[in-house]
Structure 1
Amino acid sequence: MSSLPPSSTNLKGDLTLLGGSGSTIQPVGDFKAESGGESGLSSTESIPLVNIEGFRIIRLLGQGGMGRVYLAEQTSLRRMVALKLIRPEALAGETARLRFQTEAEAVARINHPGIVQIHSVGEHSDTPYMVLEYVSGRTLKDVISLRGTMGVRQALAILGQVARALERAHEVGVVHRDIKPDNILVTRQGQAKVTDFGLARLKTEGKDLHLTQEGIAIGTPLYMSPEQVGGKSVDIRSDIYSLGVTAYHMLAGHPPFQGKNAIEVALLHVHSEAKPLEAIRPDIPPAVAALVRHMMAQRPEDRPQNPRELLADITRATLGLPPQKDKQSRRRLLWARMVTAGLFSLSLLLTLALAAILWPQKNEIEKPT
């Protein structure tokens, strides 16, 4: 079973990278288990100090620098929900409250089975809370940790489900900006659901609503797109890159880039190419490796331009075909097929030549005296 080396264990959280030669890192959240999923997380703070009317809080599902998520029963409807609260210490500034509101608005916009749904929001004793759909299952990160690597068919299935969820998000003007295995829940039936829109970017009436200034990068370094690392404006193609890194993680058993610290890892996304999946797992079909490579192209214009294109490329990969607009991968796949055809032709010629040499000898042996 593959796992991250000890030097990478401090790279799990959402980090803000402030650009420049003297770059520094500021944590903005690090959920060990995300909204609505089972984690098996133990904590002495399993029950919050507050009682929210209408909810019976059962146990802690996950926690991070900015908030906690609890499994709760909504007593009026007798249903299980995920109750997300901001940590009291995070309420000192306005950013946490604004991010919380942005997340609620983003999730409310997207009505899709591949997105963890929001039921309601409220406030108790000046503490905002969010009532979310409870998903019985595990995070994709936990699934990978348990299995080491995933089969190609299962990885493509999850990839397709998340791509459809991103397609709906794109239609309503939402960019997630933190796609990673931790933020994808997998149900017992194998359904994938995207969660945690705390870093989402929203577009309303032609205007962008987000809390990140130009020149400041925010996200998770192991999965950030190159433009995200550079603090540039991002769009859905950044989510496609992060999903490509997630696909790489599923198939290789580890993220493509690892380093001593978050900045080193983030810069690898900008300046380096990942080790080819085929070199790690020879059983991965060339078309699937080409798909992941296409999604992880360093330039946004070289990737699938939207989730619809990505879904078409996923379908092509299942048929053994390279991405439609990825010329480099198409050339590589064509070359591989030409080499295979050439070897087959050479083998056939050698067989015919050997037959031609042996045939006269056989006739001489059988010739009657």
Structure 2
Amino acid sequence: MATSAKLDLDRGMVITGKWRRRRYRVERMLGEGANGKVYLVQQEGRLLALKVGLDTADLQSEINVLKALEKQQPRGGGASPYLVDVDDLKLVSGKEYPFYVMRYVRGAKLPAFLAASGDEWFPLAGYNLLLRLAELHASGWAFGDLKVDNVLAAEYGRVELIDYGGVTAFGKGIRQFTEIYDRGYWNAGTRSSDAGYDLFSFAVLCVQLFAEKELYRITSGTLPQNRSAGDVLKLAQDAPQLRPFSGWLARALAGGFADAAEASHAWKAVMHRVSRPAKPVPWWTKALFLAAAAGLAASAFWLGGGLG
């Protein structure tokens, strides 16, 4: 099998799909992973993200997920499509590779977003991330490789998942995972795909945002057989930003939610409870209204990735 290093596409190169004959001009590489690379491309003045893969069957699983999410979007809502194009490209070497094109997002990783916007945006960003997971869970998939690197945030706390290479149908073994976010790593469950797997990873992600050094200190200083979800929860209880959500995080770490839809409702309830009563309209209420008004699904986000 070819390696991802052989998939280099130079800036300015024009790609023409073998079957649909659509043309894309390469601007730069956005990221790469085990199963391919993602490039920023331009087509007739609009920017898109193109993922070129190593294996058709491997890439097809990601395409199937994006197609299913597309079907969930309300018709006539003006939402930008998850999937723009699917085709093959042929390099001058004669080798052919599958690719698909998706929408593109200008966003930042969560730590950078919170550093620029303030930690007060964390509850709303967390809520929006849970809504994204809920879309997947409703279709019978777990995201699998949920981690800081696979989440982008933008204005009004909008959040998108990237890199769908780890998405796994419920009941099967998780395709891709990162150890520190894996409940098996913490002796807290199996690596079988279910909603609880993603919510466990979500809880670890929250802790990493505000107690990263302490989290990695535990992983490096504790024997594998002695790791537990309790270690993660203790860090959440010690972090001022997470303390109001410690009950929610305890439930997520214990597998206490049926899916992300239930978890998002519980998260929102915490947001209501911890809002300051002295303010006639809590800051996050305004932000939530603005996010809804702008239309989360219609934002210029790109999905798919391959940045793992």
Q: TM-score, normalised by structure 2?
A: 0.68
**Cα offset for 1:82?**
0.5
In structure 2, how many angstroms separate the alpha carbons of the residues matched to 1:110 and 1:265?
37
In structure 2, how many angstroms separate the alpha carbons of the residues matched to 1:70 and 1:319?
40
In structure 1, how many angstroms separate the alpha carbons of the residues matched to 2:258 and 2:132?
15
Deviations 1:82-104 (A, max 9, x none): 11112xxxx4xxxx433211111
1:175 maps to what in 2? 142
What does 1:144-223 align with in structure 2 at a 5 Å threshold?
146=115, 151=119, 153-202=120-169, 212=173, 218-223=176-181
Any idea what SS the aligned residue of 2:135 has? helix
Matched, 1:314 2:273: no
1:64 maps to what in 2? 33
Deviations 1:40-97 (A, max 9, x none): xxxxx6727964121011111112333211111123xx311011112xxxx4xxxx43
In structure 2, how many angstroms separate the alpha carbons of the residues matched to 1:103 and 1:64?
13
In structure 1, how many angstroms separate the alpha carbons of the residues matched to 2:122 and 2:151?
13
1:6 maps to what in 2? none
Matched, 1:136 2:120: no
Query: Are the equivalent residues in 2 in contact too, given 1:115–1:193 (CA < 8 A)?
Result: no
In structure 2, how many angstroms separate the alpha carbons of the residues matched to 1:256 and 1:137?
26
Q: TM-score, normalised by structure 1?
A: 0.58
Which structure: larger Rg? 1
The letter for the 1-side match of 2:200 is Y
In structure 1, how many angstroms separate the alpha carbons of the residues matched to 2:163 and 2:133?
13
More displaced stretch, 103-112 vs 238-247: 103-112
Aligned alpha-carbon RMSD (Å):
3.6
The letter for the 2-side match of 1:248 is V
In structure 1, how many angstroms separate the alpha carbons of the residues matched to 2:201 and 2:193?
12
| Cα distance change on mapping 1:227 and 1:116 into 2, 3 Å | farther
The partner residue of 2:50 within 79, 83, 86 is 83
Query: Are the equivalent residues in 2 in contact too, given 1:218–1:228 (CA < 8 A)?
Result: no
- Structure 1 gaps of 5+ residues are 1-27, 30-44, 322-369
Query: Are the equivalent residues in 2 in contact too, given 1:158–1:192 (CA < 8 A)?
Result: yes
1:340 maps to what in 2? none
| Cα distance change on mapping 1:201 and 1:285 into 2, 3 Å | closer
2:85 maps to what in 1? 120
Any idea what SS the aligned residue of 2:192 has? coil
Deviations 1:302-331 (A, max 9, x none): x2221222122112212337xxxxxxxxxx
Matched, 1:290 2:247: yes
| Cα distance change on mapping 1:227 and 1:277 into 2, 3 Å | closer
In structure 2, how many angstroms separate the alpha carbons of the residues matched to 1:266 and 1:68?
36
2:257 maps to what in 1? 304
Any idea what SS the aligned residue of 1:226 has? coil
- Structure 2 gaps of 5+ residues are 17-22, 74-78, 91-95, 275-308
The letter for the 2-side match of 1:219 is F
**Cα offset for 1:187?**
2.1
Aligned residues: 250
1:249 maps to what in 2? 208
**Cα offset for 1:278?**
3.6
Any idea what SS the aligned residue of 2:202 has? helix
**Cα offset for 1:182?**
0.9
In structure 2, how many angstroms separate the alpha carbons of the residues matched to 1:268 and 1:99?
33
The partner residue of 1:240 within 179, 189, 199 is 199
The letter for the 1-side match of 2:227 is L
Any idea what SS the aligned residue of 2:273 has? coil
- The higher-RCO structure (CA 8 Å, 6+ apart) is 2
Query: Are the equivalent residues in 1 in contact too, given 2:147–2:202 (CA < 8 A)?
Result: yes
What is the aligned-residue identity percentage? Answer: 20
The letter for the 2-side match of 1:224 is D
In structure 2, how many angstroms separate the alpha carbons of the residues matched to 1:178 and 1:134?
20
In structure 2, how many angstroms separate the alpha carbons of the residues matched to 1:189 and 1:279?
27
2:10 maps to what in 1? 47
| Cα distance change on mapping 1:172 and 1:115 into 2, 3 Å | farther
Deviations 1:255-297 (A, max 9, x none): 7355349x9679735684443334233xx47432222232222
